[in-house]
A and B are shown apart, each in its own frame.
Chain A
Amino acid sequence: MSQEKPSVTVRFAGDSGDGMQLAGINFSFESALEGHDIATFPDYPAEIRAPRGTLYGVSGFQVRFGREEVLTAGDEVDVLVAMNPAALKRTLHLLKEGGILIADSDAFDAKNLRLAGYDTNPLENDDLKKKYKVLSLPITSLVREALKDSPLSVKLKDRTRNMFVLGLVFWIFSRDLDIAKDLIRRKFANKPEILSANLKVLEAGYYLGETLEIEIPKIKVSKASLPEGRYRTITGNQATALGLITASKLSGLPLYFVSYPITPASDILHDMARYRYMDVVAIQAEDEIAAISSAIGAAYGGAIGVTATSGPGLSLMSEALGLAVMTELPVIVIDVQRAGPSTGMPTKPEQADLLQAMFGRHGEAPLIVLASATPSDNFYMAIEAVRLATTHITPVILLSDLYLANGAEPWIIPDVNNLPKWKPHIWRGNGDYKPYMRDEETLARWWAIPGTEGAQHVVGGLEKEDVTGNVSYDPVNHEKMVRLRLEKVKRVADDIPEQEVTTGVPEGDLVIVGWGSTYGVIRSVVKQLVEQGYSVGHVHIRYLNPFPSNLQEVLGRFKKILVVEMNMGQLAFLLRGTFLMNVYQFNKVQGVPITERELMSEALKLLK
């Protein structure tokens, strides 16, 4: 028996030590390689190894693949892998009626059932069996049996259970095992015994599918019609790292990357540190204050100074960002947002740092704020952040978030020769240099690099006299400088693309407005609404400060404006305050992405 579907969602759930992320990444990559579009959502706890069997220790990896543009990781899942009762309890509500549930019956013992809060074994529940296609299999025993000749300890053997379910899922989707094997070979290249165990178990899982006496539907999904080109999969954090290195090459400026480890931004540091051979200097600072400060020092010295962090780190950087505004130096902060305030939920997504990025400094301290919309968009927005910083000579904050940072998608790799280069606004003249001389058009001050003869100057946090840069307490001069710094940022609007209606109709009844990782869900819902005959458009804002010059006009073409955010209405606040426009809000702050169903129902309320 076989079913054909436009897209399918699979979720792997288990203990945080069960290797669910690895199984999910492997499956996602193979899906992309088979020609599907994909969207992934790794959902893991903050604890590295939470006590086994507990509800809070459940780690999940959700991947949706399909023949059409796959915009979100899916509201519901078609196939759920639950490695223990806690995983089942936490994720069963996501499984579609009639969906396939794969569970390790060996893990459903008295202790684990108690830890998950089950009185009886749910796998033996008749309702469950009626509602879903249940594959309750003694996976632990099957794995141990498959590895009976392996010299590995029982503990290590049990760790390969993720490969068993991966094999089984591969069988359900008639996938090619070779790619999975390649990935496993790379992962365990230096551990031959573990490698051979993983390969063996992967095959055991796959072939179990063939010999099972129960009927499992094999699911077929046709390939996506992606544009022609060479592809890879990419996560948001990977894209950011690659974007920064590309920006360094395009601008001809050396790259200084410095960061203090923080979830979910650390992977950017890991990538940059690995890319030392690309001439990037990558440093782990003693704290976020040192990170931004040393980035400022590097920028003063003529480099692109970049740091990456998350909300708490951005808070620590506030004072130094004020210095970067005052000294007008090109530093870039990448804020990979997570749920706050304070430590909040470090492994859950949220978009609640927008106003901090806009206003989180003392004094009048405007800077450029950008936000990427998809994982791969981080590549282009990182380049854009560097371009704007080094041509307008100002700090830039690029907002990403956990959902983008960890989510993966297929990415059409650009030809580097087609990426536009630019000329940084560096002082190379021999004339009389003054630190606050400005370009007439952009108001960017000239960036004079130490070592340049005759351009010696002092910059600093104290207010400076216009042009000369001498310390000044003159009241009128202070206001003039405040206005100049603001106007300089405002004029960036002349150097960024106009706002487009990303999806749907260019004018009409309703526009759904978003920024950051809500791109996928808004686009998907708007497409569906348009198909159903509604007059709806999607505006996704990637330039948050300054806004694109035509934003007000574009939004004004619609009767109603719905602003969708994973915060309490920060962009809505900015739009109202900037344009005095009436906007509706849809806000969700649960540390999980907004679902298509939720947004659809909100949109329909406004379309009635």
Chain B
Amino acid sequence: MTGTTGTILKPSDFQSSQEPRWCPGCGDYAILKQVQTVLAEKGYQPHEVVFISGIGCSSRFPYYMNTYGMHTIHGRAPAIATGLKVMRPDLSVWVITGDGDALAIGGNHLIHALRRNVDINILLFNNEIYGLTKGQYSPTSELYKVTKSSPWGTAENPFNPVLLALSAGATFVARTIDREVKHQREILKQADDHKGVSFVEIYQNCNVFNDGAFADFTDKKKQPETTIFLKHGEPAIFGVNRDKCLVVENGRLKVVKIEPEGSLPGNVYVHDETSLEKAMLVASLFGPAEHVPRPFGVFYRVRKPTYEEQLRQQRDRAKEKMGEVSLQDLLYGDETWQVK
């Protein structure tokens, strides 16, 4: 059904009539559901929302939403969304992209959309593989990964998308995971609350070409030891028995055991979403799960003027300086003469 402004809708009201065509068991289903839930909870009407995607499995997303949408070309969704949002700040604009779409072919547009702080929500579905083209390595595949296009293992290091987004100037940067639906929903909601560009990396399992890529972080037994769920103003504690924490030593993060129980060391890492330095420090935890816990949650959040706001101010400055200029006067320009 179509909402009328003011009515509260259900998540299913954001569901289109198209049957999703992702593989059964794909992590994308969970994200679709959470996005629909968040839109309903936040009181949006379908005609106020636009989903722009590129190419890849995740980019089929707009077809499954009963909102406005555009399934575009490979890598260009952030640029297309920029043009739309600049002209239509009234709309809620979301970019749905994948690791190949956003970080390989579309890397340039991604960093510039982040740098400009366009008020859009960029959801990067990271499955560390090319799914739609059937199993080539992606810019987030781990070094030495064996895939169809790397039968002898890759020879290149993966991007850390969170660190990349922070360096590019994103004003909201978070990481979540498909299986953690509550966490995911909370992050999506905050991403949408944020005024300015929101970058959310979502670890998403591709059960056909890269099954279990994030099992270390989703397996209920392993998870307490391999993940840290960041909370603003709180110390970074983890472990099955909540007996480990991060400390800062010589400018680096280190895992230490909390000894004696309950007594946090003085140099414990306390997360601060407003600190870019801290965000980059904790985002740099990117090693193998058995050695380094992987942080999730909101790394960084800061309110800065959005691109649309800056452009509005730019226009206002120009108007103030120039006064009211009619089209006719514009055509006349600086110097005219009359021929009789």
Contact = CB atoms under 8 A, between A and B. Distances in A.
Interface stretch (A141-149, A411-419, A545-553): A411-419
- Pick from A300, A458, A460, A470 the residue with the most CB of B within 10 Å: A458
A29 interface: yes
Given A286-B109, A413-B332, A462-B71, A293 B325 contact: no
A242 B134 CA distance: 49
Given A228-B340, A232-B335, A455-B47, A297 B327 contact: no
B330 A278 contact: yes
Assign chain A's interface to a size class.
35 or more
B333 A232 contact: yes
- Pick from B48, B90, B330 the residue with the most CB of A within 10 Å: B330
A195 interface: no
A533 interface: no
Nearest to A461: B73
Interface of A is mostly: mixed
Interface string A526-546: 000000000000000000000
A191 to B, nearest CB: 19
Interface stretch (A47-55, A262-270, A445-453, A490-498): A445-453
Given A232-B333, A286-B109, A297 B84 contact: yes
Nearest to A258: B83
B76 A456 contact: no
A227 B71 CA distance: 52
A591 interface: no
A367 interface: no
Contacts of A277: 315, 318-319, 321-322, 325
Contacts of B335: 29, 33, 232-233
B337 A456 contact: no
B71 A458 contact: yes
A279 B322 CA distance: 12
Interface stretch (B24-32, B62-70, B264-272, B276-284): B62-70
A296 to B, nearest CB: 6
A384 interface: no
Nearest to B61: A458
A256 B80 CA distance: 12
Given A293-B76, A450-B68, A460-B62, A256 B83 contact: yes
A289 interface: yes
B84 A298 contact: yes
Contact of A461 (B16, B63, B71): B71
Given A227-B339, A461-B71, A451 B83 contact: no
B325 A278 contact: yes
Interface string A263-295: 000000000000111110101011101100111
Interface in A546-579: none
Interface in A57-107: none
Nearest to A239: B331
Nearest to B330: A278
Contacts of B76: 289-290, 293, 320
B336 interface: yes
Given A242-B330, A454-B47, A293 B72 contact: yes
B108 A287 contact: yes
Contacts of B132: none
Interface in B66-120: 66-73, 76, 79-88, 90-91, 108-109, 112
A470 to B, nearest CB: 7
Nearest to A294: B83
A254 B12 CA distance: 34
Nearest to A298: B83
A128 B80 CA distance: 61
A471 interface: yes
A66 B333 CA distance: 23
Nearest to B340: A228
A412 B50 CA distance: 45
A19 B119 CA distance: 45
A170 B180 CA distance: 80
B150 interface: no
Nearest to B51: A458
Contact of B52 (A29, A246, A297): A297
A231 interface: yes
A471 B334 CA distance: 53
B47 A450 contact: yes
A186 interface: yes
Contact of A293 (B68, B80, B85): B80
Contacts of B181: none
A216 interface: no
Contacts of B330: 242, 245, 275, 278
B146 to A, nearest CB: 31
A303 B48 CA distance: 17
A293 B109 contact: yes
A590 to B, nearest CB: 33
A408 to B, nearest CB: 12
Given A277-B315, A279-B315, A453-B4, A297 B47 contact: no
Contact of B73 (A29, A246, A303, A323): A323
Given A415-B328, A471-B63, A289 B79 contact: yes
19 contacts: A186-B334, A229-B339, A232-B336, A276-B314, A276-B315, A276-B319, A277-B315, A281-B311, A283-B86, A289-B79, A296-B83, A297-B81, A297-B82, A299-B83, A302-B87, A327-B70, A450-B84, A457-B69, A458-B62
Given A286-B109, A293-B76, 17 more contacts: A32-B337, A230-B336, A249-B327, A256-B86, A276-B314, A290-B108, A293-B80, A294-B83, A320-B73, A412-B339, A415-B328, A458-B63, A458-B69, A459-B71, A461-B71, A461-B73, A462-B71
Interface of A: 29, 32-33, 35, 186, 226-234, 238, 242, 245-246, 249, 254, 256, 258, 275-279, 281, 283, 285-287, 289-290, 293-303, 305, 319-320, 322-323, 327, 412-416, 450-462, 470-471
